[in-house]
Structure 1
Amino acid sequence: MNSRALPMTRVNGHTDANSHNDPGAAPEIVSELNDIDLVEGRQHFTKPPTKTYQAMLLLAGSMMIFHVIGINQVFGIFQAVPHLPEKEFYTSSRSNIKDAQGQDALVSLVGSIGAGLTWSGSIFMNPLIAKIDNIKLVTFSGAFIMSLGLILASFATRIWHLYLTQALLYGLGSSMYYFPLMTLAPIYFDRHRGFAMGTILAGSGVGGLVMALVLQFLLDHYGIQWALRILGVWNLAVAIPVSMVVRHRVGYGLGAQRQRGSQNRTRTMVNNALLRKGTFWYQSIGAFLQAAGNVVPLYYMSSYTVSVLALSNSKGSLFVSINSGVNSLSRIAMGLLADYIGRQNTLISGAMLSAVSVFALWYNAPQARFIAFVVMYGVYAGGYNALLPTTITEIYGVENYASVNGVMYFIRGLGSMFGAPIAGLILGSHSRSPSLSNNGDSTSTVGLGPIKRRFNDVVIFDGMLLLAAAVCVGYVRWLDARDKGAWRWKA
């Protein structure tokens, strides 16, 4: 292959990112361009990954996401008060954590910190990934720390014990487990990157679907202590084969300097040129707001089922499971759709429609409309989470992917820590379990009025967060077209 025959534009010493996404370029030219990494003005050709390895990467990524995001999504079940009084959930009157009884905001902060650190750890993980050759060890060590946090949480007797274990240890470990694979996976795919990342991230929906049902079963039959221990051991067992798959791509991106002996590391910090761009700042604000709003339904869906609809806690777990399953299918569908109508277009549509579903379907919802919300929110919310990495590549270029992706996930982690605890403060301390008969049907709805009004306030808070996030990403779309000097309907 004659490298001089390849038409490339150069911007600040790097290949112009637009050349990677030019719909008018010949397929063979696009293929060759995506196998080139430019460092210090030299062209370096990389061997394309095999389809077998790509399939293994998709499977490993889905398995990892299954546990990390699946456990994050079902934390609300730990808060929910069951109809069986002898079970010991965190906020119930029979809780083994006495200072957590009825404290929605304090308990939700445990899950928010754990989930938030999963994302926020990106600011430290991306530089670490760029420096360490043995990325398998980093991945497995993270899974071990994550599992240790879950197991140690089973021995907690005070809420600060949960902050140390199920929040800090779990969150730091899950970040180390999550980011090596998620940072390296996109560079192994080219034209089908949207589909690939959607498939990997679909594991989160499957994880939420299965974890909600499994966790409810474990809690009902073995109690909260053994449920945490089983989850920890299960997670560690899955991590062994997952960690064996992840590796740096030879001659490309984060691992390139090891094969070439270059002294210049791949950029892991956002450069000054990007910091001066409106796209970066509005993308950051949108990432914070969307993350804050996204976690609220996941944390309080089960609580709403028990408190307002007067259904059993097992029904609440079922709704969480349905939402996660729909979300999983949606991520794959959104990834496929994005490859045809544009990744930014699909991301904006999903962000806007998720806000609409909150306002239209969750506010003051009876059972039938709430079920519709559970399904529709699962459909629309999956788009943003699946497509953010691919839109980062499209807007900022492959050479800036690691740095921008790290910052965006750090910001999303902060947003995750913000949304659910504020919703808990709005909701306040209350008894969340109406009187239920043995078959789980409501025998009394007295006193539901104040609780329902508080939940409506939570819905408005959540809807405004998601709507503001949609406006931000829409504005990023306009700014990106302006900066590139041309509007394209497919973007």
Structure 2
Amino acid sequence: MATSSHDSILLATRPGGSGPPAPAPSPAPAPALPPISRKKQAAVLFSAFMTTALTIGYNQSFGVFQQYYLSPSQDVLIPSPASQVSPPPTALLAFVGTLCYGLTWAGGIVVNPVIARLEHGSWASATSSTRLWRRRLLRLLTPRVITVSGVLVTSAGFVLASLSRSVWQLLITQGFLAGMGMSLLYFPLLAPAPEYFTNHRATALGFILAGGGAGGLVLSPVIRALLSSIGGRWTLRLYALFNLLAGLPIAWTVPRSRFAVGRNTAAVSTPGHRLSESPERREEEEEGQQQRGFGTHVSRALASRPTFLLSAAAAFLQAAGAQLPIAFIPSYTAALGLGGDGGGSGGGGEEEGASTMGATLLAASSAVNAASRVVAGYAGDRLGRQNALVLTLLLAAGSVYAFWLTSALLAVEEWGGGASSSLSSSSAAAWSSSAWSLWLAFVALYSFSVGGYYALFPALVADVFGIRHYAAVNAFILFVRGLGTLFGSPVGGQLLGSAAEGARAYTSVACWDGALLTAATLCCVGVRWADAKGKGWRWIA
């Protein structure tokens, strides 16, 4: 007679209670996973890639919306921020995109456990038979229902945003609703993806996450063109329709977790079984459950590991710093463009040209970002994912100090305290050209390096904590990343100077960004050290 998998955590006794307790049975081996066909792997790759393009790609393109909302030609906010005497609400408008991006990630702390419980049926099996309506409702709640609901909520957020007239309404619609809907679509499709790949997991994840860069490459210029031609309100409505038509077929293809097989009996205890009353023993039992694929949350034993704490800190700091340059690419580009003629006297045509250039650079950044995720994933499979991750973070932090900060400081020299009056026109042009060249170099190098982190970190989670812990740990890490996103950009917006200062207003933002990325690099070095201490040093890890 087959025994329940829970026998491995029980204190069995001899019949009649005589004699010492019999030793608990050894943990049951993990059930064999079903085979994977190439066709199934290709389907998972495509659906996850398109999901990333619709969610992360849009979030990386929000800077185009932000620049539009701050322009005099926008038709959404009443009154227009550009016409106000007081400083424009740049930080608050940046927080609209930050809130959407943060919730896209942070929602995993709720969505992933719900998906896991639905797949192994623990809710339905544990529900009293007297509540038949609840059992039937839970049977109807499937991962596919959640992903389809996510598409509908996201589109509803954009439609309601098209009716908004103030920034707080955009926060609720284009920020909160769109972010929650994207989270409902993102995690059910992305969480099971690493389970379908083994030897080339980092390469596969690099390709999947390259969808964010590819989406930004396509969406940034398209959104910019629509905003210029049909205005903000109709652009939001048209994007809602596009999200609905593109998202529903993808939501329908949500894959099932490979570890969902055989879980239906895992949540039901058998007669006579009891759990240990010792807290230490309970932690061991909880850890054992997760090793067999049952856990939907991070156990205390796992959360107390140095590798977990340092990984969470690195995720928070990297997320806080990574989105700052992306969010400010259009506005900083416009500031450099206006600085060329001494304050932007060229009028609306020049402003339009600077905004278009900002959208173009944002699209180019997304293209480099997409390519770097594939390259970094391939390099991680061969040089070691932790090694490659540390190098990409170090390169990102270095590029901020070497290029963005230097570009802003050159703009200070050109604009600052009376110095510009003593500069000849040729010298001023040289300062401006140098600042512009450094900014272009930064966009290219930073986009390449930050893309590597997104491709490598999920594979690192699977390597350091094990594939059976992946869903729980990754959901928590992405929740922390969401909190980091909500922290970094608003602080950067507060550090941003006034628009009258031009490019030099971004000096403090660049310093803040560099400090965050440097701290994230040190935390990833700590993860490398702690993991090697526990498993033994390997040069390729």
Does 2:254 align with 1:243? no
Q: How does 1:169-208 map to 2 (within 5 A)?
A: 169-208=177-216
5+ long unaligned stretches in structure 1: 1-11, 14-38, 432-446
- The structure whose Rg is larger is 2
- Deviation of 1:234 (Å): 0.8
Does 2:451 align with 1:382? yes
Partner of 1:475: 526
Identity percentage of aligned residues: 36
Number of residue pairs matched by the alignment: 432
Q: Aligned partner of 1:50: which letter?
A: S
Q: CA separation of 1:451/1:96 partners in 2, compared to 1, >3 Å: closer, same or farther? A: closer
Match of 1:160 among 168, 185, 203: 168
Does 2:117 align with 1:111? no
Q: How does 1:57-456 map to 2 (within 5 A)?
A: 57-80=44-67, 85-88=72-75, 94=80, 102-133=88-119, 134-249=142-257, 252-254=258-260, 256-258=262-264, 263=268, 266-310=294-338, 312-365=354-407, 366-428=435-497, 430-431=498-499, 450-456=501-507
In structure 2, how many angstroms separate the alpha carbons of the residues matched to 1:247 and 1:99?
Answer: 53
Aligned residues of 1:288 and 1:412 also touching (Cα < 8 A): yes
In structure 1, how many angstroms separate the alpha carbons of the residues matched to 2:466 and 2:295?
Answer: 12
Q: Aligned partner of 1:105: which letter?
A: A
Q: CA separation of 1:261/1:396 partners in 2, compared to 1, >3 Å: closer, same or farther? A: closer
Which secondary structure state, in structure 1, belongs to the residue aligned with residue 88 of structure 2? coil
Q: Aligned partner of 2:461: which letter?
A: I
In structure 1, how many angstroms separate the alpha carbons of the residues matched to 2:104 and 2:522?
Answer: 26
Aligned residues of 1:75 and 1:299 also touching (Cα < 8 A): yes
Partner of 1:465: 516
- Deviation of 1:86 (Å): 3.0
Which secondary structure state, in structure 1, belongs to the residue aligned with residue 263 of structure 2? helix
In structure 1, how many angstroms separate the alpha carbons of the residues matched to 2:245 and 2:294?
Answer: 32
In structure 1, how many angstroms separate the alpha carbons of the residues matched to 2:357 and 2:174?
Answer: 25
Q: Aligned partner of 1:126: which letter?
A: N
Report the TM-score when normalising by structure 2: 0.76
Aligned residues of 2:369 and 2:451 also touching (Cα < 8 A): yes
- Deviation of 1:85 (Å): 4.1
Report the TM-score when normalising by structure 1: 0.83
Deviates more, 1:174-183 or 1:131-140: 131-140
- Deviation of 1:240 (Å): 1.8
In structure 1, how many angstroms separate the alpha carbons of the residues matched to 2:178 and 2:171?
Answer: 10
- Deviation of 1:88 (Å): 3.5
Q: What's the CA shift string for 1:434-461, capped at 9, x where partnerless?
A: xxxxxxxxxxxxx5xx333320111011
Partner of 2:341: none
Q: What's the CA shift string for 1:95-132, capped at 9, x where partnerless?
A: 59989971111111111111101111111011111122
- Deviation of 1:200 (Å): 0.6
Q: What's the CA shift string for 1:70-97, capped at 9, x where partnerless?
A: 111111112215997433376x974599
Q: Aligned partner of 1:149: which letter?
A: G
Does 2:41 align with 1:54? yes
Q: What's the CA shift string for 1:175-226, capped at 9, x where partnerless?
A: 1100011101110111111111111100000111111101101100011111
In structure 1, how many angstroms separate the alpha carbons of the residues matched to 2:406 and 2:441?
Answer: 13
In structure 1, how many angstroms separate the alpha carbons of the residues matched to 2:437 and 2:260?
Answer: 49
Q: CA separation of 1:170/1:99 partners in 2, compared to 1, >3 Å: closer, same or farther? A: farther
In structure 1, how many angstroms separate the alpha carbons of the residues matched to 2:239 and 2:510?
Answer: 31
In structure 2, how many angstroms separate the alpha carbons of the residues matched to 1:99 and 1:270?
Answer: 50
In structure 2, how many angstroms separate the alpha carbons of the residues matched to 1:291 and 1:299?
Answer: 12
Partner of 2:281: none
Q: What's the CA shift string for 1:123-160, capped at 9, x where partnerless?
A: 10111111224211211111111111111111001222
Aligned residues of 2:211 and 2:370 also touching (Cα < 8 A): yes
In structure 1, how many angstroms separate the alpha carbons of the residues matched to 2:229 and 2:538?
Answer: 56
Q: CA separation of 1:43/1:82 partners in 2, compared to 1, >3 Å: closer, same or farther? A: closer
Q: What's the CA shift string for 1:314-334, capped at 9, x where partnerless?
A: 000000000000000000011
Q: How does 1:12-27 map to 2 (within 5 A)?
A: none
- Deviation of 1:280 (Å): 0.9
Aligned residues of 1:82 and 1:312 also touching (Cα < 8 A): no
Aligned residues of 2:330 and 2:359 also touching (Cα < 8 A): yes
Q: CA separation of 1:255/1:294 partners in 2, compared to 1, >3 Å: closer, same or farther? A: farther
Aligned residues of 1:100 and 1:107 also touching (Cα < 8 A): no
- Deviation of 1:392 (Å): 0.5
